[in-house]
Structure 1
């Protein structure tokens, strides 16, 4: 979509009409005035009319849900042949069935313990059910297909129907073998899936599973980034019909194998939201191809590393903003690449993606990407007019998150002063270059990120008013949720000689303030 596209012009007209809905007015409506950053810290919003998440988290958590014994195929390997698997769907609703495709080598029995991740008194997960023992067999490595596609066609090991009383959430199936013939004991791995619902929840939290799959190198160096032609072109297809291998960037953590990037970069936000009783529902990137789900919620959150969006996701979220849904991009490198879905070889919907082209419209970043790596078959609109800021080059590095607008209502109760920094919160990818012509857009934090002490790039965190009293906030960092909570099963990442420090009461308070306004 180009800048002269009629739908884009209409969208900008709506933004101009919304200029009167200033952030100062929003602050006044909240009873927050200039200088309110010195006020006492505010409590979380009053509980939603729905007690679903509070009631769920009152149930006993599991003491043992993490992976204990993991065996990779080789030093530096990505897969775990003793036991590994994948699910037939990214997300599923209560009452629907999901298939688990599991391979064990050698053939042996195994069990699947299904846990819902959440707060649960600080334990981080609850055991929902246990399946098995199940007879496991070795399943074949797929051939290398066109565009280096590795698409498994494994036989289902078991089919499971999601009970009607299972709430929306991110679920981990912990796979555990019986003692194997080598005498080394049992081995473990995860499968991951999302249970979605259709209720009018306060918050819709989108998992960044397109990005999980784009970086997934299972079985041995096959991802969007590992094509012999280079790591940035439109040359590689990747399939959800394969296990998630060990996470391949930032840190070495085999205990997250099979869980995508959920435990690495996204779980702390869900843990924190559920700890405070927020009414939250969860969805996959693939659930946002229409705006219907999001239009039932008050706030939509993009979480973690949310790089790959089908153009239909983009259009859905634009529609949600224009209809009054509040958007919180607690993420970095988001809405960066157009990633069209296509069906699997067996006809299952939305199971293959590739890097179709950059977002950016006529922006210099998109032009630069095509000059370096194109031509691409697709070009997306300028993501800055949705998020308030854009992807920039270099897009990765690290730095401190520096307050530049302390009188803004998002800082109420934090005590933050002009120039005060939250150490290491920017990374490892971020946003910058806010469009100058979004009415009411304000920069609330900004600074410089560095790649290992070199290659400086300006980043910016922004907020702007939507057309119906709503707002769009962009934290401008993948690592925002690292400073919200440190749940079991999560390690702090580091990159480019920079790292977040973990839970920080200022980040927690800013997030409470944003949600208080969004849910008012």
Structure 2
């Protein structure tokens, strides 16, 4: 699909006709055959890496550790980048409530025989001192630290691309974390997993001290109570710790998907959402790009990269919901370092809209909802769920559900949760594609917007390129998190990956 024809078609709201498998979207684009090498599942660097002994020593409570908090900042820190390449270096900026030595241990997230992580290096006796909390910018609400570098990690060239955690542990037994990615854009892999750092930062309200902290949703009132839009920030910085223990909101969605993919033996490399924005990712180098969790905040360059992926025959798989909802700008820090500030004005006037337009909801950009996320995804966010409800299966004879034993109307308990996506016939649809709605799950919106329908969606264009959207927060958790584990979700997702990794033409 060409970008020109995609954009022209986004305004064509009423072109679809109901088909047996969902919504058949008519188009005239020529079919293309995309050649990809045979998948390297089971025989790749990630499989070899996961043969190493794992460790759970990073977990909170081990060795009598306790969680650091934002008010006291017993031990907290942040990384100088969201991702780093082997052979490069990464700085950690750490503060403590008293001058002391701390230990910084580096773990790679994976399967590792079910342990879930492996310690790759550790540095003890890292000197840390109390550092001042910055005041919020009175105009934008930006909270950005300028703490000095406490320790620099040189990334060995032997390290395998993945999701990583830096674990900060103080002498007095407090612990916190900060995540980062080791990327490897120098080699082609079957699968690229993109970690949603822009969304992590949008929800980060550090410090939750009743005074300074702000994110893109709220801040604190003069009375020290949680506020709302009047108190929120328009800009948030990566130059600060993540709140409290340091694991971002819904980080477990991404961890669960990554562990499942590595257990399955897929040839996978990793990137951050900032990498998409900064042009480090050539989507044609991958057969599948996975967006594993809650991936809500997207810049124009990020979306351009995803659209280019489909245009060049790379499949997309979104394992969560509420994807590509807010348009953002990713800007430089005050000292000029790129990729350190996420800007989103939402319903407020954007004083400096760029080439992509104002930072508001994608579905409100342009005339006739031309930029609505459904134009790429096939479905879009349609509500919030107070308590989990079942996912109701539809189109059970489709290859996606093969081997699950499910029939139309069967329910997968508690799978639809937190936020849901659904098909909106009034919004743009993917052009030149057949859409299959694989679920039809009723729920009541917790914000009082009435009864809604959740849809899991699969779109296939004329070249066979697939765009999958699970449409619920609990899908990635069902892949490997013990309390959510669902073998039928695992099988369906394997069916999806098998189909995506099968060469075409």
Q: TM-score w.r.t. structure 2 length?
A: 0.82
Q: Which residue of the partner structure matches residue 369 of structure 1?
A: none
Q: Using the TM superposition, give the Cα deviation of residue 119 of structure 1 relative to its aligned residue in structure 2, in angstroms.
A: 0.4
Q: 1:434-485 deviations in whole A, cap 9, x for unaligned?
A: 4567431121111222245963222211111134221111111122111111
Is contact 1:92-1:194 (8 Å) kept? yes
Counterpart mapping for 1:270-349 below 5 A: 270-289=258-277, 290=279, 292-349=281-338
Is contact 1:70-1:80 (8 Å) kept? no
Separation in 1 of the partners of 2:60 and 2:26? 48
CA 1:222–1:123: 2 relative to 1, 3 Å? same
Q: Which residue of the partner structure matches residue 473 of structure 1?
A: 468
Q: Which residue of the partner structure matches residue 108 of structure 1?
A: 100
Superposition RMSD on alpha carbons, in Å?
2.9
Is contact 1:447-1:459 (8 Å) kept? yes
Q: Which residue of the partner structure matches residue 425 of structure 1?
A: 415
Q: Does 1:56 align with 2:46?
A: no
Q: Which residue of the partner structure matches residue 440 of structure 2?
A: 446
Separation in 2 of the partners of 1:395 and 1:286? 29
Residue 293 of structure 2 aligns to a residue whose secondary structure is strand
Q: Which residue of the partner structure matches residue 357 of structure 1?
A: 360
Is contact 2:404-2:488 (8 Å) kept? yes
CA 1:473–1:80: 2 relative to 1, 3 Å? farther
Residue 421 of structure 2 aligns to a residue whose secondary structure is coil
Higher strand share: 2
CA 1:319–1:436: 2 relative to 1, 3 Å? closer
Q: 1:51-82 deviations in whole A, cap 9, x for unaligned?
A: 10100000111141212223454xxxx55511
Residue 471 of structure 2 aligns to a residue whose secondary structure is coil
Is contact 1:461-1:474 (8 Å) kept? yes
Q: Using the TM superposition, give the Cα deviation of residue 427 of structure 1 relative to its aligned residue in structure 2, in angstroms.
A: 1.8
Q: 1:122-163 deviations in whole A, cap 9, x for unaligned?
A: 111111001121111011101211311110000000111100
Separation in 2 of the partners of 1:419 and 1:365? 35
Q: 2:155 aligns with which of 159, 162, 187?
A: 162
Q: 2:456 aligns with which of 445, 461, 468?
A: 461
Q: Does 1:515 align with 2:497?
A: yes
CA 1:484–1:7: 2 relative to 1, 3 Å? closer
Separation in 2 of the partners of 1:324 and 1:352? 32
Which deviates more, 417-426 or 432-441? 432-441
Is contact 1:464-1:472 (8 Å) kept? yes
Q: Using the TM superposition, give the Cα deviation of residue 398 of structure 1 relative to its aligned residue in structure 2, in angstroms.
A: 3.9
Residue 148 of structure 2 aligns to a residue whose secondary structure is coil
Residue 441 of structure 1 aligns to a residue whose secondary structure is strand
Separation in 2 of the partners of 1:191 and 1:266? 14
Q: 1:401-452 deviations in whole A, cap 9, x for unaligned?
A: 1111011110111111010111111121121124567431121111222245
Residue 139 of structure 1 aligns to a residue whose secondary structure is coil
Q: 2:257 aligns with which of 269, 286, 289?
A: 269
Q: Using the TM superposition, give the Cα deviation of residue 5 of structure 1 relative to its aligned residue in structure 2, in angstroms.
A: 7.9
Is contact 2:379-2:421 (8 Å) kept? yes
Separation in 2 of the partners of 1:362 and 1:158? 43
Q: Which residue of the partner structure matches residue 377 of structure 1?
A: none
Is contact 2:217-2:232 (8 Å) kept? no
CA 1:103–1:453: 2 relative to 1, 3 Å? closer
Q: Which residue of the partner structure matches residue 481 of structure 2?
A: 486
Separation in 2 of the partners of 1:103 and 1:54? 37
Q: Using the TM superposition, give the Cα deviation of residue 211 of structure 1 relative to its aligned residue in structure 2, in angstroms.
A: 1.1
Residue 357 of structure 1 aligns to a residue whose secondary structure is coil
Q: Which residue of the partner structure matches residue 178 of structure 2?
A: 191
Q: 2:130 aligns with which of 134, 138, 142?
A: 138
Is contact 1:15-1:467 (8 Å) kept? no
Separation in 2 of the partners of 1:197 and 1:109? 32
Is contact 2:218-2:231 (8 Å) kept? no
Separation in 1 of the partners of 2:55 and 2:260? 17
Q: Using the TM superposition, give the Cα deviation of residue 392 of structure 1 relative to its aligned residue in structure 2, in angstroms.
A: 2.4
Separation in 2 of the partners of 1:275 and 1:363? 43
Q: How many residues align?
A: 449
Separation in 2 of the partners of 1:54 and 1:416? 31
CA 1:80–1:305: 2 relative to 1, 3 Å? farther
Is contact 2:218-2:233 (8 Å) kept? no
Residue 179 of structure 2 aligns to a residue whose secondary structure is strand
Residue 53 of structure 1 aligns to a residue whose secondary structure is helix
CA 1:7–1:291: 2 relative to 1, 3 Å? farther
Counterpart mapping for 1:234-273 below 5 A: 236-246=234-244, 257-261=245-249, 263-273=251-261
Q: Using the TM superposition, give the Cα deviation of residue 18 of structure 1 relative to its aligned residue in structure 2, in angstroms.
A: 6.0
Separation in 2 of the partners of 1:110 and 1:365? 55
Residue 385 of structure 1 aligns to a residue whose secondary structure is helix
CA 1:242–1:475: 2 relative to 1, 3 Å? same
Q: Using the TM superposition, give the Cα deviation of residue 292 of structure 1 relative to its aligned residue in structure 2, in angstroms.
A: 3.6
Q: Using the TM superposition, give the Cα deviation of residue 301 of structure 1 relative to its aligned residue in structure 2, in angstroms.
A: 1.0
Q: 1:205 aligns with which of 162, 180, 193?
A: 193
Separation in 1 of the partners of 2:232 and 2:128? 37
Residue 382 of structure 2 aligns to a residue whose secondary structure is coil
Separation in 2 of the partners of 1:165 and 1:234? 42
CA 1:9–1:173: 2 relative to 1, 3 Å? same
